[in-house]
Amino acid sequence: MNKLFANPLALPTALLVLGGISYGSLFSANRYASDAGFPFLAYSFWQVLLAAVVLLLLSAVTSGLPRINKVNLRVFALVALAGVIGPLLVITFIAGKLPPGVVTLCAALIPTVTYVLALLVRVDRFRWVSAAGVALGFGGVLLIVLPSGSLPVAGAAIWVVFSLLMPLSAALNNIFGAMLRPAEASSLSLAGGTMAMGAVLLFVIMWATDGLFLITDAGPWGFWSAVWAGAAIAVTYSCFFEIIRRAGGLFFAQLNYVVVAAGLFWASILFGESLSLWVWAAVAVTVGSLALINTGTARALREKQAR
């Protein structure tokens, strides 16, 4: 037991699973919100605003409110734009142009793009074990997506290319968020500041598209869906800042593999959707992927400590 807690990757791994399970639940929350007639961008604004309120309150009573300075504002802007709003807008734009399975496949590319970007900007070096972990995790998602027959239809190639902006945006967030994160700031305050900035930006977008849409306008199901989503986002981005502080952006990128599996499990529990043998195989492969990535990250941490 002592060895478990002495492992520097034990807590980041636990946070990765927690964040992935939380974010994976958003797909179910989104379904309830859609059924309630909640406009997508207005729904996005309210969930981010609720997350900001919760995180700012928690940071106020623990580590203090986020400091408004040049360093922190740069982090808030980067994560809000590249990590929250960028992928959100891409998903919104391609929602009616590509099958859902393709969007899932694009999300699965985030760890791969993050690793390639980390090599390009030289914040990490090539390790066969890390590359194998990324490839294995992507293969796990393929086990879910390919058997469903949800590959692109004819003529959708241009939208597939456009959809790659989503993993690129998320990868930029993972790498540069880790590089710019101020070491002395708490994860709660950074997550709260990020959500506050994201809420301001999304309010402008919502006003320009949906107009002023109150959280109560979508009825009780819409209201509670937004509360649920806000809580999930608050948990996920608190985990994000703590994970990149302890293990880096590449390690956090593996959350997307957990998200895919968790999203299917949430749908099974809440909507009775059955899980095939392909899904169970994908879960097993994802566990193997995390084990390999853990090995590569542990080596990187040892090399860093030895310098």
- d(C-alpha 191, C-alpha 175), whole Å: 16
Q: How many domains does the chain have?
A: 1
7 domain-assigned: no
Report residue 20 as tokens: 């992935």
Q: Are 26 and 229 in contact (CB under 8 A)?
A: yes
Let me know: does 241 contact 181? Beta carbons within 8 Å.
Answer: yes
User: Taken in order 79, 116, 12, 71, is the CA torsion positive or negative?
Assistant: negative
**Does residue 121 fall inside a structural domain?**
yes
Q: Are 276 and 150 in contact (CB under 8 A)?
A: no
Residues 213 and 206: beta-carbon distance below 8 Å? yes
* Interior angle at CA 139, CA 133 and CA 143, nearest 5: 145
Q: pTM (2 decimals)?
A: 0.78
Closest CA to 195 of 222, 165, 235: 235
Residue 203 is assigned to a structural domain of this protein: yes
What is the extent of the structural domain holding 192? 27-306
The tens place of each residue's pLDDT in the chain, 307 residues long, gives 445 445 777 888 899 999 988 988 887 887 788 888 888 888 889 999 999 999 999 999 988 888 888 888 999 999 999 988 888 777 666 655 665 555 666 666 777 778 778 778 876 777 777 778 777 777 776 776 666 544 445 555 566 667 778 888 888 888 888 888 888 888 999 999 999 999 999 999 888 887 889 899 989 999 999 999 999 999 999 999 999 888 888 788 878 778 777 777 777 777 776 656 776 776 677 667 767 766 766 666 566 655 5
Q: Can you give the C-alpha Rg of the chain in angstroms?
A: 19
Cα separation of 178 and 161, whole Å? 27
Does some domain include residue 223? yes
Asked whether residue 13 is domain-assigned, the answer is no
